[in-house]
Amino acid sequence: MAKAVKKQALGRGLSALLKDPANDIKSVEDAGADKVVGNIIELELDAIEINPFQPRSNFNEETLKELATSIKELGVIQPITVRKLDFNKYQLISGERRLRASKLAGLTTVPAYIRLANDNESLVMALVENIQRHDLDPIEIAISYQRLIDEISLTQEELSERVGKKRSTITNYLRLLKLDPIIQTGMRDGFISMGHGRALINIENADAQSEIYHKVVTQNLSVRETEALVKKYHESLKPKTAKSNSSNFEVEDTDKKVFTDFFGAKVDVKVTGNGKGKITIPFHSEEDFNRILKLIHN
């Protein structure tokens, strides 16, 4: 326990030193940089600004209050990570939930790891660290991947290596951004899962996509049921084979009776596809066969 108190005191001591302009550190080459960069230091909350690259945009107020209560009792167990912008000015890289909860708890300072990073590095670090530590919703992850591709000019293969995810995984997330914005919002709000979204993305028609989404939500359909609904939709688009009217041809019992009465035997009449069929006339002996043959010749 004494060791933990000493570590906390060290952090506060460095925090005081950083407020002296003479000790301002701007690069890893500056004197004393090794004592600050990568160490845990108590920073004033007012000196930390929110990271514009933060992938998470939705924060549950209830869980934030629960975290704030925990922080009041136990303190901030896991330090946040920031990058130094200017003298006594820092920008959050990861840990926005902890930062917000610390403010709710009434704290004035928070333990933080200090790093030096440019905007591109900050974007990558914010994305990777947040994805690894928190359950971002699928759309937030997809947007973050797209920003890396657009703003850092990464290919999907390069992005795969940077974030430690399979390329197919990244592709599946990016495809979600093609969904109707209403459906994307439904996914972010938890009405549907990523599995539902992956099924719906296979419907190109926006109206049909929205209609099926409405059914999924109102009927609380599972992913498998949604996939079946999408499959049924695609089958309905396939051209139907034209059928001859004669395929609906049926032989009435009264017509069958005409054959039976004429031949004096129970005649079997069967209709197959396209109006075709066959007539079967049974006989029980050579004499019976000749009788039927005579009827036909007459």
User: Which two three-digit tokens encode residue 148?
Assistant: 């890396």
| Active-site residue, selected from the candidate residues 44, 66, 96, 157 | 96
Strand ranges in 95-133 using DSSP code E only, listed in sequence order:
109-115
The three-state secondary structure class of 157 is helix
Distances in Å between the Cα of 199 and the Cα atoms of 175, 204, 218, 229 are: 11, 11, 17, 9
| Long-range contacts, 262-265 (Cβ 8 Å, 24+) | 262/295, 263/292, 263/295, 264/291, 264/292, 265/292
- Judge whether 96 counts as a catalytic residue: yes
How far is it, in rounded angstroms, from Cα 209 to Cα 213?
6
Contact assessment for residue 188 and residue 140, using Cβ atoms and an 8 Å cutoff: yes
Where in the sequence numbering do the catalytic residues fall? 96
